[in-house]
Amino acid sequence: MEIINLDHIVLTVKNLNLSIKFYNQVIGLPIIHEQTNSNFASLKCGKSLLRLRKVENNVNAIVASKLAVGVYDFCLETNSSVKSIISNYNKHNIPIELGPITKHGAKGKMTSIYVRDPDNNLVEVSTYNN
**Average pLDDT of the chain?**
92
Q: What is the pLDDT of residues 91-121, one digit of tens each?
A: 999 999 999 999 999 999 999 999 999 999 9
Q: Could you tell me if 99 and 122 are in contact, meaning their C-beta atoms sit under 8 angstroms apart?
A: no
What is the model's pTM? 0.90
Q: Quote the pLDDT of residue 5.
A: 85
Instruction: Provide the domain limits for residue 58.
Output: 8-127
Q: Which amino acid is at 102?
A: T
Q: 110 exposed, middle or buried (CB, 10 Å; 0-12, 13-18, 19+)?
A: buried
Q: Does residue 76 belong to any structural domain of this protein?
A: yes
Q: Average of pLDDT values for 84-88?
A: 95
Per-residue confidence band for 65, with pLDDT thresholds at 50, 70 and 90: confident
In what order do the strands lie in the sheet containing 48-54?
Answer: 8-13, 48-54, 40-45
Q: Does residue 1 belong to any structural domain of this protein?
A: no
CATH of the domain at 64: 3.10.180.10
Domain count, the chain: 1
Q: Does residue 123 belong to any structural domain of this protein?
A: yes
